[in-house]
Structure 1
């Protein structure tokens, strides 16, 4: 049985696909790809089927992280109860998850709660701010700590 992780943001073209790609890269480097499945989804439907935002693609390429096979999708009913860990990018995403998903057997939380210096904060949406570098740094650091936490929790 694999551990299933879902990253969630508003439109699934900036933050959550960036987190999916970064976390997948870290999981591969840790040799855990056969034990941890990673996906991302958006609250909204606006970008279904689209590649990640150009800014996300650029920063991932610059850091030699693949975004292959990542396309936007909307959070759906089939996601409810399927994922062991649902990780939101901000408080608005968390509120939406709390009303639309039960995830009673799993963990739901915010990504920056794993960041050593940014607990309780939101990952700002670079779709509106344009600051993909800042967001990349936040997600990169948070994914290191999230993976360490997950490995201890799941004993992998």
Structure 2
């Protein structure tokens, strides 16, 4: 069985590709690369085809994570059938995702910060607007760790 995880933010150039890359690194480090498939997408269409933002590139480079194949794409209804988890970054993303999600979809739809035991915030702020990529990195890392633990527990990995 392969568990499929999709990270989603507004433009798919800052938070969701950061989460995709950092989660993939954690999955690989845990030896689960063949059991968990990871991708990211946007709720908005203005960055389609673009690589991650240079701030996200710097964070991923710092962690030795390759982002060369990452390109912004738009989430579609088919993603709710193709993925087991659809993970939004903030409340606005969740509203968009809930509106898109087919009524019969069994997908787990949650915010990334839902996987952090001690929540200091419920949203991952968008560094495109805040400029604070270090804060986003810290929150994304904590959320990815919690998500991986939840998946490992649920699927006995």
Name the TM-score, length of structure 1 as normaliser.
Answer: 0.95
Deviation string 1:81-126 (CA, Å, 9 cap, x unpaired) is: 2110000000111111111113731211000111222266110000
How far does residue 77 in structure 1 lie from its aligned partner after superposition?
2.6
Deviation at 1:71, TM superposition (A): 0.9
Any runs of at least 4 consecutive aligned residues in structure 1 with deviations exceeding 4 A, and if so which? Answer: none
Instruction: Provide structure 1 residue ranges, at least 5 long, that are not aligned to the other structure.
Output: none
Residue pairs, 1:35-114, within 5 angstroms: 35-102=35-102, 104-114=105-115
Question: For the residues of structure 1 that align with 2:46 and 2:64, how far apart are their CA atoms?
Answer: 28
Once the two structures are superposed, residues 46-95 of structure 1 have per-residue CA deviations (whole angstroms, 9 ceiling, x without a partner) of: 11111000000011112222223111001113212211000000011111
Asked if the contact 2:113/2:122 (under 8 Å) is kept, the reply is yes
2:144 aligned counterpart, secondary structure: helix
Counterparts of 2:51 and 2:9 in 1: how far apart (Å)? Answer: 15
Is this contact kept in 2: 1:115–1:142, CA < 8 A?
Answer: yes
Give me the whole-angstrom Cα distance separating, in 2, the residues matched to 1:145 and 1:94: 19
Corresponding residue for residue 145 of structure 1: 146
| 1:111 and 1:139 in contact (8 A); partners too | yes
Contact kept, 8 Å, 1:112 with 1:119, in 2: the verdict is: no
Query: Is 1:113–1:120's contact at 8 Å kept on the other side of the alignment?
Result: no
Classify 1:90/1:155 alpha carbon distance in 2 versus 1 (closer, same or farther; 3 Å): same
Shift of 1:135: 0.3
Taking structure 1 as reference, are residues 94 and 119 closer, same or farther at Cα in structure 2, changes over 3 Å only? farther
Name the SS for the 1:77 alignment partner.
coil
Q: Which residue matches 2:116?
A: 115
